[in-house]
């Protein structure tokens, strides 16, 4: 079968002509970007905002997209609806590791107005040749060249993702770069939401039958999507609101609600679900016992911490649990379970800290942490469960070194002294760990 490309695409499937200028650089062109920000950019509609997608850690996506002239399709799968759309706003793909000069030149190009990022929680650390290192090199080249203003928009699941990124960039900018960045670069925060599991070969086969061409860069996503963006742009931006994005003054309440309700429940279901032998989030969320645990987390623990934000929580939570049950989207529990040491903080520990400050003991959020502990422990004895985590070595030796609760609470990369020294938290975790272990099949 022929490969998807400009040649195989029919006119009806194409939205824009050949001359879409690159005005956005996206760092981390994984599955999520292709099903989220790129789709918003496509649907914003003017055909003036082309994207240069950057791969960093592996050349795979570059190898998938380049022979297809940047074209790919999105297979949207709801419980009872399905559609396939071609996206044609990716107009260049750079392999950041193999072509660092080309990446720097793109970041310095005054035509580029926006840099977006989906580099995972792990990406927000400085390291030679890492995404942030390359971003800083690009900003330095921009300062030395046109000096044109730029907006850098994080789309990763972090609390205050714009501020986190800005602080990292400023702290590691050499010479007078920090001063230039402060005056010329904005770092809006954003809340992003659309469930986009890793694509499988079966998905590609299904799409090929519909498309009449093989699409190596296919992504699969749920129908729901949301993007709330802080209105803080230093240069232009696409009219993403035309595609349904919400442009607001303060993203923090939306971000808190999404991370605590959706991602908190996601992580709880992933750890208990994986222990219970559920392969997918849909299976875990359809297990009555697990669904009740997720609902108690939302209703009893998370909702009180969000009361002052003024956003609706329980209706939002019901929609989230319905989305998780979408049987057409096989999102693996082990995919959501990965990188727990970085995910627990924004997803569960914020809820626990706020509840403790109000004198409550949030048992379901603590069950989520106990489930993570039981999961980490199980990975050391059971080859079926992967411990895919940047702190895997520290975590594995912690659980092997004695009492699981004590030794994991001692891991500084995850917990602070406040939680470690809270005797009510410690003893609740000690009581809940056997319950979490009892899910193991």
Ligand X SMILES: O=P(O)(O)OC[C@H]1O[C@](O)(CO)[C@@H](O)[C@@H]1O
Ligand Y SMILES: NC(=O)C1=CN([C@@H]2O[C@H](COP(=O)(O)OP(=O)(O)OC[C@H]3O[C@@H](n4cnc5c(N)ncnc54)[C@H](O)[C@@H]3O)[C@@H](O)[C@H]2O)C=CC1
> Which residues contribute to the site for ligand X (CB under 6 A)?
157, 193-195, 262-263, 266, 335-336
- Shortest Cβ distance from residue 372 to ligand X (Å)? 12
Could you give the C-alpha distances from 345 to 191, 263, 314, in angstroms and in order?
Answer: 16, 11, 22
Q: How far is the CB of 220 from ligand Y (least distance, A)?
A: 10
By C-beta, is 193 or 363 nearer to ligand Y? Answer: 193
266 binds, among ligand Y, ligand X, none (CB under 5 to 8 A by kind): ligand X
| Binding site partner of 118, from ligand Y, ligand X, none, Cβ cut-off 5-8 A by kind | ligand Y
Partner whose binding site includes residue 28, from ligand Y, ligand X, none (CB under 5 to 8 Å by kind): ligand Y
Kindly state the smallest distance separating residue 43's Cβ from ligand Y, in Å.
Answer: 18
**Residue 138 partner contact from ligand X, ligand Y, none using kind-dependent CB cut-offs of 5 to 8 Å:** none
By C-beta, is 14 or 125 nearer to ligand Y?
Answer: 125
Considering the complex, state which of residue 324 and residue 439 has its C-beta at the smaller distance from ligand Y. 324
Nearer residue to ligand Y within complex by CB, 99 or 431: 99
Applying CB under 6 A, the residues found at the interface with ligand Y are: 28-33, 55-57, 118-123, 130-131, 156-157, 192, 194-196
In whole angstroms, the minimum distance from the beta carbon of 312 to ligand X comes to 18
Instruction: Quote the distance between the C-alpha of residue 61 and its chain's center.
Output: 17
Closest approach of Cβ 186 to ligand X, in Å? 23
Query: CB of 28 within 8 A of CB of 54?
Result: yes
Looking at the Cβ atoms of 122 and 172, the one nearer to ligand Y is: 122
Distances (CA, A) of 243 to 8, 228, 358: 27, 12, 40
Residue 72 corresponds to which tokens in the numbers above? Answer: 């790919």
Residue 337 or 425: which CB sits closer to ligand Y? 337
Partner from ligand Y, ligand X, none contacting 53, C-beta within 5 to 8 A by type: none
DSSP-based three-state secondary structure for 55: strand
Contact 361, 378 (CB under 8 A): no
Q: How far is the CB of 196 from ligand Y (least distance, A)?
A: 4
From the list ligand X, ligand Y, none, pick the one residue 335 interacts with, judged by a Cβ distance below 5 to 8 Å according to partner type.
ligand X
Residue nearer to ligand X on the CB measure, 56 or 157:
157
> From ligand X, ligand Y, none, which one binds at residue 123 (CB under 5 to 8 Å depending on kind)?
ligand Y
Is 29 or 385 the residue whose CB approaches ligand Y more closely?
Answer: 29
Residue 95 has φ and ψ, to the nearest 5°, of: -90, 100
Residue 116 contact among ligand X, ligand Y, none, beta carbon within 5 to 8 Å by kind: none
Please state the closest distance from residue 182 (CB atom) to ligand X, in A.
30
Neighbours of 85 (CB within 10 A): 14
Closest CB 423 distance from ligand X, rounded Å:
30
Please return the burial class of 356, using the count of CB atoms within 10 Å of its CB with bins 0-12, 13-18 and 19+: middle
Q: Within 10 A of 387 (CB to CB), how many other CB atoms are there? A: 21
CA distance 94 to 116: 14
d(CA 93, CA 60): 11
In the chain, how long is the greatest CA-to-CA distance?
66
Q: Which residues of 106-140 are buried (b: 16+ CB within 10 A; e: fewer)?
A: bbbbeebbbbbbbbbbbbbeeeeebbbbbbbbbbb
């Amino acid at each position: 079968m022929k490969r998807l490309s400009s040649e195989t695409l029919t006119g009806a499937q194409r939205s824009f002509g050949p001359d879409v200028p690159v005005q956005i650089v996206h760092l981390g062109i994984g599955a999520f970007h292709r099903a989220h920000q790129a789709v918003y950019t496509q649907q914003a509609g003017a055909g003036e905002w082309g994207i240069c997608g950057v791969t960093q850690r592996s050349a795979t996506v570059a190898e998938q997209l380049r022979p297809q002239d940047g074209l790919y399709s999105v297979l949207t799968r709801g419980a009872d609806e399905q559609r396939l759309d071609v996206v044609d706003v990716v107009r260049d793909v750079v392999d950041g590791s193999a072509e660092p000069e080309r990446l720097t030149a793109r970041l310095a190009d005054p035509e580029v107005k926006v840099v977006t990022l989906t580099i995972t929680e792990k990406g927000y650390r400085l390291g030679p040749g890492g995404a942030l290192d390359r971003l800083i090199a690009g900003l330095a080249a921009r300062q030395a060249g046109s000096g044109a203003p730029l907006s850098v928009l994080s789309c990763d699941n972090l609390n205050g993702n714009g501020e986190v990124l800005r602080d990292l960039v400023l702290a590691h900018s050499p010479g007078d770069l920090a001063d230039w960045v402060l005056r010329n670069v904005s770092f809006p925060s954003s809340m992003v939401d659309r469930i986009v599991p890793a694509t499988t070969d079966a998905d590609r086969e299904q799409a090929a039958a519909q498309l009449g061409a093989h699409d190596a860069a296919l992504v699969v996503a749920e129908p729901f999507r949301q993007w709330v963006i802080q209105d803080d742009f230093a240069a232009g931006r696409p009219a993403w609101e035309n595609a349904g994005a919400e442009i607001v003054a303060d993203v923090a309440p939306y971000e808190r609600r999404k991370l605590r309700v959706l991602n908190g429940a996601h992580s709880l279901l992933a750890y208990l679900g994986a222990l219970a032998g559920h392969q997918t989030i849909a299976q875990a969320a359809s297990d009555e016992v697990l669904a009740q645990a997720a609902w108690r987390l939302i209703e009893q623990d998370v909702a009180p911490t969000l009361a002052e934000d003024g956003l609706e929580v329980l209706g939002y939570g019901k929609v989230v649990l319905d989305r998780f049950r979408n049987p057409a989207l096989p999102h693996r529990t082990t995919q959501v379970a990965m990188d727990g040491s970085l995910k627990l903080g924004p997803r569960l520990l914020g809820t626990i800290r706020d509840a403790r400050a109000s004198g409550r003991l949030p048992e379901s959020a603590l069950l989520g942490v106990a489930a993570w502990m039981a999961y980490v422990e199980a990975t050391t004895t059971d080859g079926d469960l992967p411990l895919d985590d940047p702190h895997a070595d520290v975590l594995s030796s912690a659980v092997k070194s004695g009492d699981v609760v004590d030794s994991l609470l001692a891991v500084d990369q995850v917990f602070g002294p406040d939680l470690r020294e809270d005797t009510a938290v410690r003893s609740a975790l000690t009581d809940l760990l056997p319950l979490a272990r009892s899910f193991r099949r």
